[in-house]
Amino acid sequence: MNSWHLTQAVNCVRAGGVLAYPTEAVWGLGCDPANEAAIQRILDLKARPWQKGLVLVAASLQQLEPWLLPLSEADEATVQATWPGPVSWVLPCRESVTPLLRGTHTSLAVRIPDHPLVRALCEQVGPLVSTSANPAGREPARTSLRVRQYFGTALDGILPGQLGGRKNPSEIRTLSGERLR
């Protein structure tokens, strides 16, 4: 991992920018989840309806505590057993979470990834919005070239790196046992 590139990515997110970065299976777009203007830019770039909601990634469950309601010990154990890894959990969120993140739901999708670049980024900036780098209805980008083809100069940064080798984007689960993807 190139520390200069990581520093540039950290600075991009902290400055309110939209960043593309490699994840386990596809390229992602991310920003500071506390910056509503940056979240709206991602939604606009993707032509994604806000009602669907977005995913937050973080380096630890503790980083997500300001966004989520407390979990029971059993629920926390269930969730933690899949992390770090390719499982996003839809968990009850605080009322203060902007609808731009949670959509029309009272829950928020969250994940602790096992991709080293994403984890390193989250260790420095905290939670990060994470959504596939593609306009709605198009295939997710699997190369930085495809990211550039999709978004041109509309992004504030691209963190170079390799995908994590997974074939499919993260699975989405609920505590009731439902698998949404």
- Sketch the domain layout of the chain as residue ranges: 3-174
**Which residues pair with residue 89 across a beta bridge?**
110, 173
What's 57's DSSP letter?
E
Q: What is the pLDDT of residue 169?
A: 79
What's CA 44's distance to the chain center, in Å? 16
Compute the chain's Rg from CA coordinates. Answer: 15
How many CA atoms within 13 Å lie on the side-chain side of 122?
A: 28
pTM for the model stands at 0.94
* CA atoms of 23 and 131, how far apart (whole Å): 10
Burial 43-72 (b: 16+ CB within 10 A, else e): bebbebebeebbbbbbbbbebbeebbeebe
How many CA atoms within 13 Å lie on the side-chain side of 80?
A: 11
Q: Measure the N-to-C terminal CA separation of the chain; round to a whole number of Å.
A: 30
CATH tag, 3-174: 3.90.870.10
Q: What is the pLDDT of residue 178?
A: 67
Both tokens assigned to 56:
């937050």
Which parts of the chain sit beneath pLDDT 70? 1, 178, 180-181
Q: What is the pLDDT of residue 128?
A: 97
